[in-house]
Chains A and B, each alone.
Chain A
Amino acid sequence: MRTISFAEATLEAMREEMRRDETVFVMGEDIAKQGGIFGQFKGLPEEFGLQRVLDTPISEAALMGSGVGAALTGTRPVVDMHFADFITCSMDEVVNQAAKLRYMFGEQCSVPLVVRAPDGITKSAAAQHSQSLEAWFLHTPGLEVVIPSNPADAKGLLKSAIRSDNPTLYFEHKGLFATKGEVPDDDDYLVPIGKARVAREGDDVAIISYGIAANRALEAAKQLESDGISAHVVDLRSIAPMDYAAIADATARTHRMVIVHEAVRVGGAGAEIAAWVAQNCFDELDAPIVRLGAARVPMPFAPVLQEHVYPKAGEIADAARRLVRKQL
């Protein structure tokens, strides 16, 4: 298998899906001429023309709103939000329009829209360019929320999102675009939305995660190995739908659970997972559930401050170690 970057994997997915289905098109700020801030759209205008690769004004509400309108009327738009933080400028279009129209109109329509949203902490981008906002959309009925952690999933999940008839938010961590990994060279390589991946098997503690935090969980698992602790790492891949079966399996296997995401801990996706496990797997638990996430502060600028805010492999390993050794 070839090794390519996360950005190249998403580009490959776009190219394959645009070749496969001429109703797929992409629009956003700085994508046609500039190729996207992470190079994730390079070369698309040359192959598909400026009719299907559109540079838009800085008009997030119109970008999202026209994406919904186009999705309702026979096309499959992919809209790029530049930075996930700017979804805030189009919240009505996501929450009141995209998410609700199919239900509200009695299933007369579907909204096959993909919203690409580069999120997460990177290079001191600070408060308005570093957020992970997925929990808002987990809370909103009518949306799919997909969060890949590696190049192969980035390709397979993006292809599934484009083929999905539902509005799908595709959160891609800015820190992942340059990372490399093996990616199948297969036009029909699809990763189903809603199926978690067991990233590593283990018996002492389960670490439930998704996105870039799943990679940090794997690093933590390596550190734990030297202490004789075997960690079971689950990469959820999507949080809506959530693979509760995989979470239940992990609980039954390890009886201890650490949940980790880069998003703010309070009210995050981890809260939903912990509550679900507490209600449905109570008898399987030997210890309290531990949730890790960013502190409830806007992301600071200074690198020393930024690095103090969110959990990395070291903090994840520490939490798991304390949990296993009953040092809570």
Chain B
Amino acid sequence: MQHSPSPDVKAARTVDVDLGLALLRTMRRIRVFEEGVEALFLAGRVPGFLHLSIGQEAVAAGVCAALRRTDYIASTHRGHGHTLAKGSPMDRMTAELMARATGLCKGKGGSMHVADFSCGMLGANGVVAGGFGLVAGAALSQKILGKDGVAVCFFGDGATNRGPFHENLNLAAIWNLPAIFVLEANGYASTTSTRETTKLQDIATRANAYGMPYEIGDGFDAFAVYEATKRAVERARGGGGPTFLEFKCYRMRGHYVGDPERYRERDEVNARKSDDPIVRMEAVLSEHGVAKSTFEQIAREASEEFEAAVAFAEASPFPDPREALVGALTTDRDVPNDRGWDLAE
């Protein structure tokens, strides 16, 4: 089994400044988006539930930077970052969260079920471990169709204790599928600490059980995430089969917006603040001569993009209520969906 620990950030290394800026831009866009929709949610302008990935942006940014637009990803209920990093437009995503007809899913999905097939984003998933099968299948279809696409499954600690995790990793391994399984080890399964639900320190070692190579990396270091993913993508595209990547990170916010977080002490959260992947990326880039004004400009552009996205969403209509009755089947529009009280019509 291959297992190469990620390089220590503080160690001297060559840094690709352009790549760093691209990763920083993606992370900043995710951060601005999530802080923005959190405020909109608290103001009652976003219905449903919100699960924020603040603190985990380096994983989304680093992984997706190593992928092509046509490669596939399947995300989780905490999927805003993955969606934006894969290339989904912020305006149509905001419109989806604000339940508008112009949303990516026409207002039928919302935060927990956002998808964008135009950039290979096979959906956030309200079912923990719901993405494993989708990714195994997407990777399988690449093989059957003779394409060189790669499929990536994002998941959290909690998903690794569900059956589909085991079944699909085994399937991907025996069929040598071009799949990558990315564990965002953020320390929690909903509100329960991973320490209470999993005996292993490194869940990635479970890959041994499937005969699958794995790497464990620093999930706050977008460069490290990118490099590890790049190696896994090369292996997958070259016919070398699947890889398990575990990125150690931390969920800075509660399980959902409004979570009273009775299960952890504030000190624990405060102690992790210095790990913020954006702070760390800016520090590395500063050491390599990038001016503070560049970081300010990146933040400003992200804010402007989000403001424009909210304006777009607010200018968009809510869906026509009649749209609620169609869209499950391709034949829906031909067959009236009788609600029982439609007889008089």
Q: Chain A interface (Cβ within 8 Å of chain B)?
A: 23, 25, 51-52, 54, 56-57, 59, 61-62, 64-75, 77, 92-93, 96-97, 99-110, 141-142, 144, 164-166, 194, 241, 279-280
Residues in A with CB closer than 8 Å to B141 are 69-70, 73-75
A97 touches B133 (CB 8 A): yes
Q: Which of B150-167 contact A (CB under 8 A)?
A: 151, 163-164, 167
Q: B283 near A: Cβ within 8 Å? A: no
Our pick among B118, B164, B174 for the contact of A61 (Cβ within 8 Å) is: B164
B134 touches A108 (CB 8 A): no
A69 touches B138 (CB 8 A): yes
Our pick among B116, B151, B167, B328 for the contact of A102 (Cβ within 8 Å) is: B328
Q: Which of B233-285 contact A (CB under 8 A)?
A: none
A77 touches B335 (CB 8 A): no
Our pick among B126, B137, B329 for the contact of A70 (Cβ within 8 Å) is: B137
B144 touches A97 (CB 8 A): no
**Cα of A164 to Cα of B330 in the assembled complex, Å:** 9
A99 to chain B, nearest CB (A): 7
B87-129 vs A, Cβ < 8 Å mask (1 yes, 0 no): 0000000000000000111111100010111100011011100
B327 touches A62 (CB 8 A): no
Our pick among A92, A106, A110, A144 for the contact of B109 (Cβ within 8 Å) is: A106
- Listed by A's residue number, 30 A-B pairs whose Cβ atoms lie within 8 Å are A51-B143, A52-B144, A54-B175, A61-B167, A62-B132, A65-B132, A66-B134, A66-B137, A66-B168, A66-B171, A67-B133, A68-B134, A69-B135, A69-B136, A69-B138, A70-B138, A70-B144, A72-B134, A73-B122, A92-B130, A93-B133, A97-B134, A101-B115, A103-B327, A106-B104, A106-B107, A109-B117, A142-B328, A144-B329, A280-B343
- Residue of B115, B117, B141, B168 most packed against chain A (CB within 10 A): B141
B136 touches A105 (CB 8 A): no
Q: Chain B interface (Cβ within 8 Å of chain A)?
A: 72, 74, 103-109, 113, 115-118, 122-123, 125-127, 130, 132-145, 151, 163-164, 167-168, 170-171, 174-175, 327-331, 335, 340, 343
**Cα of A68 to Cα of B139 in the assembled complex, Å:** 12
B133 touches A68 (CB 8 A): yes
Our pick among B72, B104, B127, B144 for the contact of A75 (Cβ within 8 Å) is: B144
B170 touches A107 (CB 8 A): no
A72 touches B133 (CB 8 A): no
Residues in A with CB closer than 8 Å to B126 are 96
B140 touches A70 (CB 8 A): yes
B123 — nearest CB in chain A belongs to which residue? A105
Our pick among A69, A102, A279 for the contact of B134 (Cβ within 8 Å) is: A69
**Cα of A51 to Cα of B146 in the assembled complex, Å:** 11
Our pick among B113, B123, B135, B144 for the contact of A23 (Cβ within 8 Å) is: B144
**Cα of A144 to Cα of B133 in the assembled complex, Å:** 21
**Cα of A65 to Cα of B175 in the assembled complex, Å:** 15
B145 touches A23 (CB 8 A): yes
A97 touches B171 (CB 8 A): no
Our pick among A62, A103, A144 for the contact of B136 (Cβ within 8 Å) is: A62
A166 touches B329 (CB 8 A): yes
B137 touches A73 (CB 8 A): yes
B171 touches A75 (CB 8 A): no
Residues in A with CB closer than 8 Å to B104 are 105-106, 108
A69 touches B145 (CB 8 A): no
A151 to chain B, nearest CB (A): 26
B106 touches A107 (CB 8 A): yes
A75 touches B145 (CB 8 A): yes
**Cα of A99 to Cα of B126 in the assembled complex, Å:** 14
A141 touches B328 (CB 8 A): yes
B145 touches A56 (CB 8 A): no
Residues in A with CB closer than 8 Å to B115 are 101, 104-105, 108-109
For the A-B complex with A102-B330, A103-B108, A105-B123 known, give 13 more contacts whose Cβ atoms are closer than 8 Å: A57-B167, A61-B163, A66-B134, A73-B142, A75-B140, A100-B328, A101-B115, A103-B328, A104-B113, A106-B109, A109-B115, A110-B330, A279-B340
**Cα of A212 to Cα of B339 in the assembled complex, Å:** 31
Our pick among A61, A62, A75, A105 for the contact of B113 (Cβ within 8 Å) is: A105
Residues in B with CB closer than 8 Å to A61 are 133, 163-164, 167-168
Our pick among A65, A77, A108, A279 for the contact of B164 (Cβ within 8 Å) is: A65
Our pick among A97, A106, A194, A241 for the contact of B105 (Cβ within 8 Å) is: A106
Our pick among B116, B132, B139, B329 for the contact of A142 (Cβ within 8 Å) is: B329
B167 touches A62 (CB 8 A): yes
**Cα of A77 to Cα of B145 in the assembled complex, Å:** 12
**Cα of A107 to Cα of B130 in the assembled complex, Å:** 19
A88 to chain B, nearest CB (A): 13
B221 to chain A, nearest CB (A): 30
Residues in A with CB closer than 8 Å to B167 are 57, 59, 61-62, 65
**Cα of A5 to Cα of B133 in the assembled complex, Å:** 34
**Cα of A65 to Cα of B151 in the assembled complex, Å:** 14
* Contacts A61-B163, A93-B133; A72 near B144 (Cβ below 8 A): no
**Cα of A104 to Cα of B106 in the assembled complex, Å:** 9
B342 to chain A, nearest CB (A): 11
* Contacts A96-B130, A99-B328, A106-B327; A65 near B117 (Cβ below 8 A): no
Residues in B with CB closer than 8 Å to A70 are 137-138, 140-141, 144
**Cα of A74 to Cα of B330 in the assembled complex, Å:** 16
Residues in A with CB closer than 8 Å to B171 are 56-57, 59, 62, 66
A70 to chain B, nearest CB (A): 4
A168 to chain B, nearest CB (A): 10
**Cα of A75 to Cα of B143 in the assembled complex, Å:** 10
Residues in B with CB closer than 8 Å to A100 are 328
Our pick among B125, B137, B142, B330 for the contact of A67 (Cβ within 8 Å) is: B137
- Residue of A64, A103, A280 most packed against chain B (CB within 10 A): A103
Residues in B with CB closer than 8 Å to A52 are 144
- Residue of A54, A70, A73, A164 most packed against chain B (CB within 10 A): A73
A59 — nearest CB in chain B belongs to which residue? B167
A78 to chain B, nearest CB (A): 12
